[in-house]
Every structure is written in C-alpha cells, then in structure tokens.
Amino acid sequence: MSIDITFHYPPELMNLLIDVIPLLNRSKKDVFLFFKGAGISQVLMSAPHKLWKQNPSEITKYEIVRQILTKLNEKGELCLRERREVLKRVIEFENFSACWESDKLKAKGLVAEIRDVVNVKDSFTRMNIERVHERQIRLEKEQAEKEALQQRQRNIDQVRNELFQLFSIQNPQKRGKTTEAVLNNLFKVFEIGIRDAFALVGNAGEGVLEQIDGVVEFDSHIYFVEMKWWSDPLGTPEVSQHLVRIYHRTESRAIIISASDFTAPAVNTCREALHHKVVVLCTLREIVMLLERKGDLKDLLKKKVRSAIIDKNPFDQVL
C-alpha cells in the first residue's frame, strides 16, 4: 500500500473504517487488541478504554473505534505510521472466520469498498506525483534553455566585440590571422558547421597555391568562405580568384565577405557565375548590424542564398 494520507483520513474513508473495524472484531476487547497490534499508544485509547472498564455497556464497539480514529486524525503527521498500519490491517484482512456469522458478508463488502477507495486515492496520489515530477522536468528544461540562450547571447556579444576590435588592428598580417579566428567563432556561435582555416599546398615545392579562410556547412551545402579586408571595394580580379576555387570543386558554393564593399563589375561577375555556382556576397557591415539587432546569421545567409538562386542577385543587402 503506497497511499499517502499525511494528515488525516478523508471523511468517506473514516466512515468506512468506523463501520468495518467493529465487524472484524467480535468483542470490544478484540477492538482494543486490534488497535494495540497496529501500534496505537495506550494514551490515545485511554478515554474509551477507561469507560469500557468502568461500564462496558455504556460504550459500543463503533464508539470505541470512532473515538480512537478521531484521536489519530487529530495527531496529524505525528500518527502517520499508526494510521497507515490501521488501514493496512483492514485492506489486507482475509480471514473473516473470526467475525460473527451475521457480519461476514457486510464486513467483506466494506473491506472491498475500502480497497477501492484506497486504490482510487493511491491513483490520484501517483498522478499528482507524476504531474509534480513532469512540471519539475519542464521547469528544469525551460531553465536550461533559458541559460543556454543567455550563454549564446554572451558568446554573440563577445564575437561582436571581437569584430569591432579588428578595426583597430593596423598590421595587415596580424589582422588577417585574427579575422580568421573571429570568423570561426562567428560561425560556431550560430551553430554553423565549420572547418578551421587551411592552406592548400602544391607539390614539388610549389608552396601555397591558395588561401581559404574557412569552409562552412548549412542546409546540407558546403560553402567556401573568403574574407577580404581591403580599404577599397573589391573588384573583379579579387572575387574571380575565389570563384576559380569553387569551379573545380563539385557541389561547392561560395561566400565572399568584404570589410569594404564590392564594385559593380565584381557583382556582375558573380551574377554571371550564378549560372554554374551559388555565390553570395556579404559585407562585414551587414554582419555587424545583424549582431547589433541580435539577428541570426543563418537567416541572413539563407535569405542571401535564396536571392542568389531565385533572383540571380549575389549581393542582396539584407539589412
């Protein structure tokens, strides 16, 4: 029995116990022995026991049970164990041979009814426990999601600050290497799959053939990323270098990010390349503004890709 009646028997259960315990015990003495066996202290039984001793005819078995159970209820949680034991002894009662013959059927019926009540109460208790448990799990999940979002925003803010710091670096080589790291952090924080920047080296001492800032993957497509930090807008020669790289790679796409802007001829070159490859142009200014308004980099790139494919516009400035 796992029913948890913490403070008292409910009224319907109380009345059923008052009705059945006298039937399960032939004599008043047997009633007191029943409660004593359940661990009820003599103090709780003293009033009805004293009256019974002084004048047995002045108190019935039902009144004895009523007074003792009432005392048990008044004790609340202090007598939790005793109340459970009394209830346990009733619902586990199986040998009705000790009952008066005329009381057997009624006693069996009441015990069965008490078992049903206990089962219902126990079901509600379990359901309530499950509801509390589910609510706790939901609250913990919501809290974890909230903390994850807060941590993600802190990471985004850090990347934004790193981007700002790039503008203060005067040494081109240092700024270039730092830019690669910042780009990696940028894509990571938005959960875009990335590979670290790498250099493709030729054979027979040919040295570095091409420098690619990074490779990212989202929506099941591979994008080769090139970042250029020029003071002037990028022209056709600069974007063409990157286009040549993706022409020789099956199913690859291109993202070119510029710290400045793109010339009209460069945009036209990329538009022509859209006949063969998906090419997306993006300025560092767009990314900074995105982070300022707490936007999503994936959404920005998806809009640009859609514009490149549908509208043949490689440089749709989604601001």
DSSP code per residue over 227-278:
EE--SSPB-HHHHHHHHHHHHTSTTEEEEEEESS-B-HHHHHHHHHHTTTS-
pLDDT in tens, 131-165: 667 778 888 888 999 998 899 889 888 988 888 88
pLDDT in tens, 133-142: 777 888 888 8
DSSP 8-state code for residue 60: -
On the question of pLDDT at 5 being above 50, the answer is: no
Contact between 107 and 20 under an 8 Å Cβ cutoff? The reply is yes
Confidence category of residue 199, pLDDT binned at 50, 70, 90: very low
